[in-house]
Chains A and B, each alone.
Chain A
Amino acid sequence: MSNSYKNEKMTDTERISFVKNTKRKDDYLIIMISIIGVLGFLIIWQLAVVFGLLPSRYVPMPTEVIKLFAVKLVDPNPEGAVLGVHILASLQIVLTGFLLAIVVGVPLGLVMGWYKGFDSFMRPIFEILRPIPPVAWIPLTILWIGIGLKAKAFIVFFSAFVPCVINAYAGIKQTNPVLINVAKTCGASNFTTFYKIGIPSALTMTFAGVKVALGNAWATLVAAEMLASSAGLGFMILQGRQFARADIIILGIVVIGVIGIIFASILGYVENRMLGWKK
């Protein structure tokens, strides 16, 4: 499809490479600015502590945090566990609660969205429970089940459960009625339509709900660990407070944040694989 005209300034192939080069330069610039942003933040932080603008007793330098990371990998002081143990403890609970929430919540939401009778029955219960934030359940759960794995898993489950249901419900509700009619004219039963048309249509919103659920689960876990635990990252941070070790606290915060980002990336990757056809 390349036409050559007397007045054409560049040939087509030249234009393609010109545009690509310009784009590459732009992308490069953006990445450089981002790196400057991150480095700038760390450098300002470090210098602020070094020059006494921030009290070094309360604010550790970035370099100290990194050092502590290496140390904590093998040193169980002062709160009684190595970093790896804390991470494992937290991950255990969050993943249990989260997976359970998906397994229970998503089907529940899908069925509620599809079958009106079920919806009418479950709705009021759900609407009553929904406004109560997961953190508010912690005291009652602790009184009831006590401090322990089960209690924390339940709270994490609950916080992840709600967005799964809501999003699965909303997702299946917005199934294109035209598609449903197509299924009906092909003679499909209600269940088949639900299975082959409703559920796939609901996938995008359901996935968005799953992402929110993981974020909620992680946030609630930290809260639960702070209120009642003897291991885990939340507990580690709390102990950092007890021992007035700001560097432990910040290390904990950084690890929590990093794990959060890793979770989000994994989910993003899974989403692209599963729903790639949409783009």
Chain B
Amino acid sequence: MQKNNVVMSEAERKSFLLNKIYKILPIISVVLLILLWFIAAGAENSNFPSPQEVFLRFITLQQKPIKEFNLFQHIWISLIRVFIALIVSWIIGIAFGILIGWNKKANALFSPVFTAFRSVPPLAWVPLMTMWFGTGEFPKILLVFMGALMPVVVNTQSGIANVAKMYLDVGTIFNANGKQLLIEIAIPSSLDAIFAGIRTSTSAAWMVVLAAEMLGGRSGIGFLIVRGMNSGDYALCLLSMVCIGIVGALLAIMTKYLERLVCPWTIIK
């Protein structure tokens, strides 16, 4: 059997070549980006930190903590706030969403006020919260909770209200009562919508916690980045941004795995 005597047609050869180019392009663009970074940092009047400076800043931050915490501890503090707020928002949000999705009258009663609250960006609440509750942990977690609650409720409500009639018919034929229709059919069939809400709420929570920390606080990675801004510490800013991006991406991945765990039927095929 001869191995390498594959004869390809003109079209096949072209597409083979193209595919190879497509594989290389991402690498080229990342390399260009890094080069751009070096250039921006090395330019004459630029204050932009070079990669080495950022890395160095990372080291010094570990050695000389800001406000008693090093980088990882700040990140951890932010994450804890996010987790607490998220879990509470999921519990309350899903329950509330089910209520107004399933019961038309409850929807009519609560929806208008809820939509009004929803139209206000979470950050707009910050001054009010700090006025009422100070700058401790509670107002921050409350703010994150508010930001995360909205998508969960909206998506859950939409999922429950739009359950395929076909499945409800099956329940009717088997003489299911209202409660059974809700628990056995409506909720499981809405799980994909509920998880869409969970995913959105996670990214929203990460954003709000940062903003809340930026606008008043002494810990957390949002605080770090504002510290950098206020002391002209570019490197700290950029370092924090990189960390924020990484953690944000990790959170998104984690929620995806959570969904696969709870809904195994979505991955098969």
Q: Quote the shortest CB–CB distance from B152 to chain A (angstroms).
A: 16
Contact of A253 among B124, B203, B228 (CB under 8 A): B124
Interface residues as binary, A184-209 with B (CB distance below 8 Å gives 1, 0 otherwise): 00000000000000000000000000
Are B119 and A261 in contact (CB-based, < 8 A)?
yes
CB closest chain-B residue, reference A236: B127
| Complex interface residues of chain A between 233 and 263 (CB less than 8 A to chain B) | 233-234, 237-238, 240-241, 244, 246, 249-250, 252-253, 256-258, 260-261
Contact A58 B109 (CB under 8 A): no
CB neighbours of A260 from chain B (8 A):
119-121
> In the complex, what's the smallest C-beta–C-beta distance from A225 to chain B, in angstroms?
9
Q: Is the CB of A226 within 8 A of B126?
A: yes
Interface: B240 (CB within 8 A) = yes
Q: Mark B109-121, 1 if CB is under 8 A from A, else 0.
A: 1111101110111
Across the interface, name the chain A residue whose C-beta is closest to B234: A143
Q: Which residue of B lies closest to A129 (CB)?
A: B245
> Which residue of the partner chain, among A117, A138, A257, contacts B21 with CB atoms under 8 Å?
A117
Residue of B nearest to A239 (CB): B127
Chain A residues with Cβ under 8 A from B18's Cβ?
116-117
A38-B112, A140-B238, A257-B119 given; A133·B207 CB < 8 A: yes
Q: Are B127 and A257 in contact, with the CB atoms below 8 A?
A: no
| Residue interface mask B243-266, A partner, CB < 8 A = 1 | 011101100100000000000000
CB distance from B24 to the nearest CB of A (A): 8
A33-B109 contact, Cβ under 8 Å, with A121-B25, A125-B33: yes
A58 in contact with B229 (CB, 8 Å): no
A26 nearest in chain B by CB position: B104
- In the complex, the answer to whether B110 meets A140 with C-beta atoms within 8 Å is no
User: Which residues does chain A contribute within 8 Å of B126, judged by CB atoms?
Assistant: 226
- Cβ contact of B215, chosen from A38, A220, A227, cutoff 8 A: A227
For the residues of B in contact with A, the DSSP-based class is helix
Which residues of A, 22-43, contact B by the 8 Å Cβ criterion?
A: 30-31, 33-34, 36-38, 41
User: Is B136's beta carbon under 8 Å from chain A?
Assistant: no
- Whether A131 touches B214, Cβ cut-off 8 Å, given contacts A120-B26, A121-B28, A125-B33, is no
A-B contact count (CB 8 A): 163
Q: Which residue of B lies closest to A238 (CB)?
A: B127
Q: Is A122 an interface residue (CB 8 A)?
A: yes
Beta-carbon contact of A140 and B237 below 8 Å: yes
User: Which parts of B91-128 form the interface with A (CB within 8 Å)?
Assistant: 104-105, 108-113, 115-117, 119-128
- Chain B residue numbers with a CB within 8 Å of A140 are 229, 234, 237-238, 241
Interchain CB contact (< 8 A) of A136 among B110, B117, B240: B240
Given A131-B249, A264-B119, verify A33-B108 contact (CB < 8 Å): yes
The residues in B between 23 and 41 inclusive whose CB is less than 8 angstroms from any CB of A are: 23, 25-26, 28-30, 33
Identify which of A33, A116, A125 gathers the most chain B CB atoms within 10 Å of its CB: A33
The 8 closest A-B pairs by CB, nearest first: A219-B121, A139-B229, A260-B119, A241-B127, A131-B248, A120-B25, A33-B108, A132-B245
Interface, chain A (partner B; CB < 8 A):
30-31, 33-34, 36-38, 41, 58, 116-117, 120-125, 128-129, 131-140, 142-144, 218-220, 222-223, 226-227, 233-234, 237-238, 240-241, 244, 246, 249-250, 252-253, 256-258, 260-261, 264
